[in-house]
Chains A and B, each alone.
Chain A
Amino acid sequence: MLNYNDILADKVKNIKPSGIRKFFDILDEMKDIISLTVGQPDFVTPWHIREAGIESLEKGKTYYTSNSGSLELREEISRYLYRRFNLNYSAKDEIIVTVGGSEAIDIAIRALVNPGDEVIIPVPSFVCYEPMVSLAGGKAVMVATKEKDKFKLTAAALQAAITPKTKLLVLPYPNNPTGAIMTAEDLEAIASVLRHTNIMVLADEIYAELTYGRKHVSIATLDGMRERTIIASGFSKAYAMTGWRLGYTLAPREISQQMLKIHQFAIMCAPTTSQYAAIEAMREGDEDIANMRDEYNRRRRYIVNSLKGIGLDCFEPEGAFYVFPNIGGFGMNSDTFCERLLYEEGVAIVPGTAFGECGEGFARISYAYSVSHIALALDKIEKFLAKVKAER
């Protein structure tokens, strides 16, 4: 019998298995659960976009595109970014179409991080940055964001985490799981810390279209920041296209050239069918986004209001489709709270600790569900809270 432990790569073995997997496995086996755990839209990709994908198959467009994605799509992405976010990226050599935002994050980190480099990651945040950094031989430096700061990264916290080894700052806003955003002023404070350094920014802007009340601002639009920023974004959240696996990187030419080497050898090119669907999304999808955003916003208001009504404190999220209520006042940790809620009331929410230790005391609730589904879940959460309070 082979001893795989001797065979497998240390870097991979050293990645901590995701704790939340266990919770999801339990969840998958239980019946009649009311889940608020899902991190993807409940909308189906708009029909005209699906149709464009189908039509490309009917026409036999089943070949590879160029490594960085079809020029037609890159041109549409370039136009869209200018139209929506005032960003200027050349279709020719500054945009790479990737397999989802996840690959965009991966190639950005791999292109920048040398062994020993430090990467600053605000937490709670999406779970992929740390393992990607450690696979690249870098060291993840977590910076806890606070509820009192609305889970924004502050200039002071950033400054305190910077060392001579700092290579990169990950800027994941609008944020999963907190729903926090960074305004132009918030970003300016971060930019003023970075401008006179060689530290790069990886802005994960996958939720850029889903902000409520004010438009997303990209740090790359601030003075002097474009040259030190890589943006990772994609189609999944804005167009309800998670399963199509399509994203992109935006970066100055010199960086894009290097990222493209990783992409072309590891991936070849993003799926062609998805690229054709995405062209349609870019050309005719602005209204779809607006409609979905309006619907998320209504649910957001409803869920925040209802959570407060049943006695769960919740800072008001302004982006993505999550709320991150404070569940710390019930005499149990987040894992126990979520497990008991699941077993006793059949409602699933994600413990904040799934997104970093500083998520202790919080839970992520997704509102990518219908209002009636959310209402049903909230009734049960209210019942659970009453029971927990009675116990104490």
Chain B
Amino acid sequence: MKNLLQLIENDSKLTAEQLAVMLDTDVEEVKESIKAFEDQGIILAYKTIIDWDKTDREYVTALIELKVAPQRDKGFERIAEKIYNYPEVQSVYLMSGSYDLAVMLEGHTMREVAYFVAKKLAPLESIVSTATHFVLRKYKDEGVIFENIEVDERGNCL
């Protein structure tokens, strides 16, 4: 059922009926598989990719590098949990290399993001340092190229 996951990862709007035909299996099996994936936490959510730059919404995204002193017994788990519980935080990754946690953050303004880092993140115990990078432009996200308006330019040759 790896194929099923790959298909709905790219297009979660495909119906169980469509998926069943495409994968040469029956509808009930697709429905059961999806339910099982959801129950097991393999499928976590169905979201939409939006190019907010094309709207009038004011927002700013930042990537924050955090160096963290791991806590005894808890490693990075405790600090990661504290961070991801903030709704402003989009994603939290544990990284190899020169820093430990990568945090993607969204705010209305740069000032708001800076304030969040200074007031909420930096003071957390075990945070050694922070480095905030603002995203200037998204070219591609979640495998989707932005600015890509699909126009079918193929010529009609038989």
Contacts and interface: CB of A to CB of B under 8 A. Distances in A.
Given A38-B154, A354-B158, A372 B22 contact: no
Contact of A350 (B22, B152, B154, B158): B158
Dominant SS among interface residues on chain B: loop
Contacts of A28: 156
Given A298-B7, A302-B18, A375-B18, A42 B156 contact: no
Contact of B156 (A37, A298, A355, A371): A37
B36 interface: no
B23 A298 contact: yes
Nearest to A354: B158
A27 B7 contact: no
B14 interface: yes
B58 interface: no
B156 A24 contact: yes
Contacts of B3: 294
Given A371-B11, A371-B14, A372-B13, A301 B22 contact: yes
B21 interface: yes
Interface in A127-167: 127
A126 interface: yes
Interface string A14-29: 0000101000100110
B23 A127 contact: no
Contacts of B13: 372
A302 B21 contact: yes
Nearest to A102: B157
Most A C-beta atoms less than 10 A away, residue of B14, B23, B24, B157: B157
Contacts of A355: 158
Dominant SS among interface residues on chain A: helix
A126 B158 contact: yes
Contacts of A306: 21
Interface size bracket, A side: 20 to 34
A39 B3 CA distance: 27
A371 B24 CA distance: 15
A305 B154 contact: no
A38 B11 contact: no
A35 interface: yes
Contacts of B11: 371-372
A350 B21 CA distance: 25
A305 B19 CA distance: 12
Most A C-beta atoms less than 10 A away, residue of B3, B11, B21: B21
Interface string B2-31: 010001000101100010011110000000
Contacts of B22: 298-299, 301-302, 371
A355 B158 CA distance: 9
B21 A305 contact: yes
A20 B3 CA distance: 38
A305 to B, nearest CB: 4
Contact of A371 (B18, B23, B157): B18
Contacts of A301: 21-24
Contacts of A38: 152, 154-156
Interface in A254-268: none
A338 B24 CA distance: 30
A242 B156 CA distance: 12
A249 interface: no
A35 B153 CA distance: 12
Interface string A288-320: 000000100011011001100000000000000
A372 B11 CA distance: 9
Contact of B157 (A27, A35, A40, A305): A40
B147 to A, nearest CB: 15
5 contacts: A299-B22, A301-B21, A302-B22, A371-B11, A372-B13
Given A38-B156, A302-B18, 12 more contacts: A20-B158, A28-B156, A37-B156, A38-B152, A42-B154, A242-B157, A298-B7, A301-B21, A301-B23, A355-B158, A371-B18, A372-B13
> Which 10 pairs of residues, A with B, have the shortest CB-CB distance?
A298-B22, A305-B21, A24-B156, A38-B154, A302-B22, A302-B21, A301-B21, A39-B158, A127-B158, A301-B22
